[in-house]
Structure 1
């Protein structure tokens, strides 16, 4: 298994926010932008309004794990950012996973 390549720099996030396409549901916001690479790069943002660090890290872990299990079905060549919304703090893994699947399908990135 290869490790997921992540977006880390603020300028990368800003570029995708300004030039990318967004898709929204009640738990997550998805930003995508083609990156002309043979891999996808993942960024996850959890706002401080969600809660303290323990809650934010839990939401981040749920998003990362859901993405990891779907990664092989997602088209390559995109920078992908998931931004959590307020309702995500009360969501379980199944809720996050189905919300992510819905957004990826809406964006036309998932093969299932």
Structure 2
């Protein structure tokens, strides 16, 4: 047990099918932040799934990949608190390039709380520690 303080990281199931993206854009609930737009849609699985879109408006491949990494890390931090039966499509905005994943996670939790997607009440999910 070399690093007892490191949490076991669960694998995030990624959405790759185009029809799931299109269906989420049409029927999903949109949650807007300065850093990204989240389309949340219930699914029949018992695990949350994540799809990320980073358009060329963000910049070259290096910037788009950084945006995806920041969003993935933020989602990984939020995953234990959200209801498991949802698909999330996250569209990156240009401001995501200027923040760290912790700030993105706080913004995500705020959006999930407002949408009622958190599985616990507001008191137990406090990121201000």
TM superposition score normalised by structure 2: 0.80
Give distance in 1, aligned partners of 2:100 and 2:74: 11
Higher Rg: 2
Higher RCO (CA < 8 A, seq sep 6+) = 1
Aligned length: 112
- Runs (5+) with no aligned partner, structure 2: 1-8
Give distance in 2, aligned partners of 1:61 and 1:83: 13
Match of 1:62 among 70, 75, 87: 70
Say whether the 8 Å CA contact 1:55–1:89 is kept in structure 2. Answer: yes
RMSD of the TM alignment (CA)?
A: 1.3
More helix by share: 1
TM superposition score normalised by structure 1: 0.91
Match of 1:35 among 23, 43, 46: 43
- Runs (5+) with no aligned partner, structure 1: none
Structure 1 stretches (4+) deviating beyond 6 angstroms? none
